[in-house]
Structure 1
């Protein structure tokens, strides 16, 4: 069996943006037969106590509207560990202004590996805007992915 390359999506609490990116990426990658798989984590040590359920209903609703049945919908948010960086070929944080300092503080030896997008959380951008941005970023990422046999270049 072929070994899959992995992309790690990070947001603050692993509840909304990173979970949506993970599920969308995996759906597209599987449909296109790519040798890639996504997983997601939270850059913070713990998520918000205001989160209800294992995954944001906003992300779930958007995925279901696209006909995507999220594989990880029942999984609780998970904080990132240094080992997660080691497991990933690519690491993407969803909002540079929000996540860069947090990642540099918690994971100084791995922080240089992170690519940053600029997708606001729900308090600053409605899901119709933020999730549409993630849709575009994920599709652009998939179009630019190297094959499993070739190294990632920056």
Structure 2
């Protein structure tokens, strides 16, 4: 798959928000028959030790409630590299205030490519509200891609 149709979702630990965005995006573009695919990564310098297992139970629960079998449920979180930026046409970080400093520090040369959303992590916003925001933002993103690809 070429860079021209890949979206990279970023969050701190690649465990909860970015994984949900990746899974919900891939499910929806599959239903729409769009030629896009998402992948996700962590922008932290190290994976947070408090994240147990491959993916957040909140993410799994929300996907299962929508009848979505997550394709990456067994994949453990992955740290972002510059190559990940190179492999993506679009890069979205899930929380501006949280992720912009990390991205500026670790990826200064490509930081200008990132679009920032405003979805708080679990300690600041309950999972149903946060994941609902991601649902809406992913819907909007897919809508903009449909217009762009016409």
Residues in 1 aligned to 2:30 and 2:17: alpha-carbon distance in whole angstroms: 20
- With normalisation by structure 1, the TM-score equals 0.93
Q: From the two aligned structures, give the one with the greater helix fraction.
A: 2
Residues in 2 aligned to 1:48 and 1:123: alpha-carbon distance in whole angstroms: 14
Q: Which runs of 5+ in 2 are unaligned?
A: none
Matched residue pairs, number? 147
Give the SS at the match of 1:30: helix
Say whether residues 1:25 and 2:25 are aligned partners. Answer: yes
Question: After TM superposition, which residue ranges in structure 1, 4 or more long, deviate above 3 angstroms?
Answer: none
Residues in 2 aligned to 1:46 and 1:20: alpha-carbon distance in whole angstroms: 20
Residues in 1 aligned to 2:24 and 2:49: alpha-carbon distance in whole angstroms: 25
Q: Which residue of 1 aligns with 2:62?
A: 62
Residues in 2 aligned to 1:52 and 1:114: alpha-carbon distance in whole angstroms: 28
Q: Which residue of 1 aligns with 2:131?
A: 131
Give the SS at the match of 1:18: helix
What value does the CA root-mean-square deviation take over the aligned residues?
1.2
Q: Which residue of 1 aligns with 2:36?
A: 36
Matches of residues 65-76 of structure 1 in structure 2 within 5 Å?
Answer: 65-76=65-76
Q: Which residue of 2 aligns with 1:81?
A: 81
Q: Which residue of 2 aligns with 1:9?
A: 9
- With normalisation by structure 2, the TM-score equals 0.95
